Structure 1
Amino acid sequence: MEIPPFPKPGSLEEALALQKALAGKVVVAGSLEGVRRIAALDASHRRGKPLLAVAVLYDLERGPLFVGKGAVPEEELFPYVPGFLSFREAPAYLLALKALPEAPEALLVDGQGIAHPRGLGIASHLGVHLDLPSVGVAKSLLYGRPEGPLPQERGSAVRLLSPEDRPMGYVYRSRAEARPLYVSPGHRVGLEEALAFVRALPTRFRLPEPLRLAHLEAGRALKALD
């Protein structure tokens, strides 16, 4: 897969300016209907170790096909600053995607899409950088608030609103009584279309299966460094 160079900001001010510029390029519209091959992305890191990212090439009809991995040494990582995670993790994700034998049609990312203080979570950042449709599925809330209580039933969802009451995604319960997930469009996907796509994914546990596999692979890769 051909990967454009990823700009590494030299300061937090540069990162902020770049983030705001890229947020202006995010397109919150589009459908994933007909998409078959996606890349599910997750990363794992422990102090003193490289940051390891995994891309699972997943066929929605056949299941997992291939696993690509990428690693960035700790000393080369952008500092950990809440709201700027994509500058830290994206270089490793891009290496993992480059290792895949073919390009995916869309990205499914463990992280935020537009549900972010400046509208550019890692799913949006990667989507704009690669010009690919992308969806963020986060395990915790970064920004915004649920529109109301979330029912305990499997598949239930309520809108996730910004402080200005702008819809940014959905709080989604993938399994009955399980902790919610936070689904937001990354790039070239509409709000409702992002939720519909995640709802349609195979889900045996809390995480949709492609992301669960990526999470397991990232954990195994990190353990292998011990």
Structure 2
Amino acid sequence: MSREWLVVETLREATAVQRRIGELAETADRIGPVQHIAGADVSMKWRDSRGPIHAAIAPVDGAPATATMIPAFPYVPGYLGFREAPVLAAAWDRLAGKPDLILVDGQGRAHPRRAGVASHLGVMLDVPTIGCAKSLLCGAVAGAVGPQPGDRAAVVDRGEVIAIALRTRPRAAPIYVSVGHRLSLDSAVAWVLRLCDGRRLPVPIRLAHDAANAARRAFDGQG
């Protein structure tokens, strides 16, 4: 695992790193047999940009690994990878068995520099990752998304399809699926649909969300 992009000193350096990550993030399938799948998410106190971030990587078939860290990088929209990737990397280090695929609660290539946290983490770990976001950071949905699970529409930014707005549950808002690293967009959407289990968000994301929140509550309880 490369730690090259965990810490940056300036916004200019962060921008350059994101552009490099965007160049290196692979958008074709380079993934072997998938036996172990995990979700990745972070939790923090509401509107607390200075306090600790609690991260979890939660395998579907095993115990989650968590980590807590006070981020060195300030809160800047579009640069959350520099706050979240270091603590997610710490959780990864504590994970006994490494997953073959990670679904990340956040953006992948659906990012102004094509380097959301799913791409940041995937390129850094060289692990296939998928971004699953509840809102858009950039781009616009080209057309309407039908009402049934599996209905979808492209998300386009500057002439490029960067994500899919995907209906995963009837009457629920769509989620936005983007490539993190080492998968095609079609494969990313197929995996998300396979793992949704009738809910809006995929099982791995829900497990990671619960684990990260549990880590935050445990930390707060120590005070």
Provide TM-score, normalisation by structure 2.
0.92
Deviations 1:32-86 (A, max 9, x none): 573121221000012264100000012xxxxx3111001112xx43111111110
Kindly indicate whether the alpha-carbon contact (under 8 Å) linking 1:32 and 1:197 is maintained by their aligned counterparts in 2. no
Q: Structure 1 stretches (4+) deviating beyond 2 angstroms?
A: 3-7, 31-34, 202-205
* TM-aligned CA distance change 1:187 to 1:93, over 3 Å: same
Q: How does 1:11-22 map to 2 (within 5 A)?
A: 11-22=10-21
Partner of 1:224: 218
Amino acid at match of 2:159: D
Which region of structure 1 is more displaced relative to structure 2, 41-50 or 105-114? Answer: 41-50
Q: How does 1:1-150 map to 2 (within 5 A)?
A: 3-7=1-5, 8-30=7-29, 34-46=33-45, 47=48, 49-58=51-60, 64-73=61-70, 76-150=71-145
Partner of 1:61: none
Kindly indicate whether the alpha-carbon contact (under 8 Å) linking 1:174 and 1:203 is maintained by their aligned counterparts in 2. no
Which region of structure 1 is more displaced relative to structure 2, 95-104 or 199-208? Answer: 199-208
Kindly indicate whether the alpha-carbon contact (under 8 Å) linking 2:168 and 2:196 is maintained by their aligned counterparts in 1. no
Distance 2:164 2:52 in 1: 32
Distance 1:221 1:22 in 2: 29
**From 201, 205, 209, the counterpart of 2:199:** 205
Kindly indicate whether the alpha-carbon contact (under 8 Å) linking 1:36 and 1:105 is maintained by their aligned counterparts in 2. yes
Kindly indicate whether the alpha-carbon contact (under 8 Å) linking 1:6 and 1:91 is maintained by their aligned counterparts in 2. no
Kindly indicate whether the alpha-carbon contact (under 8 Å) linking 1:109 and 1:135 is maintained by their aligned counterparts in 2. yes
Deviation at 1:143, TM superposition (A): 0.9
Distance 2:180 2:76 in 1: 20
SS in 2 for 1:65: coil
Amino acid at match of 1:21: R
Deviation at 1:124, TM superposition (A): 0.7
Kindly indicate whether the alpha-carbon contact (under 8 Å) linking 1:159 and 1:170 is maintained by their aligned counterparts in 2. yes
Number of equivalent positions? 216
Provide TM-score, normalisation by structure 1.
0.90
Kindly indicate whether the alpha-carbon contact (under 8 Å) linking 1:22 and 1:125 is maintained by their aligned counterparts in 2. yes
